[in-house]
Amino acid sequence: MADVAIIVPTLRRPESLERALRSLFAQTGVGDRISEIVVVDNDPSGSAGIGVEALRGLAPWPLVYVHAPRPGVATARNAGLGATRAPLIAFLDDDEAASPGWLAALIEAQESTGADVVFGPITGRAPDAEPWLKPYLERFFGREGPGRSGLIDEPYGCGNSLMVRSVALPGPAPFDARADHAGGEDDALFAGLAARGGRFGWAADAAVEEFAPAHRATLKYALARAFAYGQGPSQTAAAARDWPAVLRWMVVGAGQALVWGVGAALLTLIRSPKRADLYDRTARGVGKLFWMKGLEPHFYGVREVARLDAAQA
């Protein structure tokens, strides 16, 4: 019955990783369903190994450490998959903490809906954010969905998810390593799954908290991510060579950038805290216009390692 592996990619977040792992050790209602917890250390120096070893004695299930020295989010996820044969794969990010019934709720929703991928809600936490930005950032790093579990039309992100491996994760490396630095590896994966007739589900009780580290709890970071999210629909259409859809998304983006940009300017004049939400919408609109290769912001991979090195220097 041990048919679920939990994969946790990590990059130089020792305290956050410990919080994530302790939340997994406290899972209830799953019996003997967990085959292993796989920690994928994406730091070239293998910095997470010591912390994982220190926690090994607390783990109720096998705790597997994998070193993936080439930094990149897709590479890390693929390395985790290579370390397990489990037919069901759950993903938890290293800046997240799962509620005790998290995995049980994901499994129940998957079994009741027959979905190929199931997602759960995320409550964003930004303790280091400026007071006026905090409500926006906590919504930004959070995820809301239907009040009840069931099938849904559109996918969410990979964090806090459960996937049927044979359908949702085909081949030895289903995540596209070309997304290692900018992200979006899950968007491409789910677009391919949808094209194959895959189904998505929602587990309303699979609650997770996501804690934004100080360097990400900023308006600059959030707007760069919003721009990248805006690029997603245009880039997906371009990858499929669906040029009418690309044009349609660019027209939508132009309208969003114009309307929300004007609103953002007006709220900025009166210094309304709500201006952050309109900055976000404007950035997403601009992203739909400037979706071309080479314009993607880089959040992962070697640039993230370089940023961490600079912060420690």
Report the run of H or E that residue 90 belongs to, with start and end: strand 88-91
Domain ranges of the chain: 4-211, 219-312
Tokens 């950035």 sit at which residue?
283
CATH class of 4-211: alpha beta
Instruction: Name the 3-class secondary structure at 41.
Output: strand
CB 167 within 8 A of CB 198: yes
- Longest CA–CA span in the chain (Å) reads 60
pLDDT at 303: 67
Q: What is the DSSP letter of 16?
A: H
CB 145 within 8 A of CB 200: no
Measured in residues, the chain has a length of 313
Residue-by-residue DSSP string for 195-261: HTT--EEE-TT--EEEE--TTTSSHHHHHHHHHHHHHHHHHHHHHTT-HHHHHHHHHHHHHHHHHHH
Per-residue pLDDT of the chain (313 residues; tens, 9 = 90+): 899 999 999 999 999 999 999 999 999 999 999 999 999 999 999 999 999 999 999 999 999 999 999 999 999 999 999 999 999 999 999 999 999 999 999 999 999 999 999 999 999 999 999 999 999 999 999 999 999 999 999 999 999 999 999 999 999 999 999 888 888 889 889 989 999 999 999 999 999 999 998 889 999 999 999 999 999 899 889 988 999 999 999 999 999 999 999 999 999 999 999 999 999 999 999 999 999 988 888 877 666 776 666 666 6
Residue-by-residue DSSP string for 280-304: HHHHHHHHHHS-STT-----SHHHH
Q: How far apart are CA 185 and CA 77, in angstroms?
A: 10
pLDDT at 232: 87
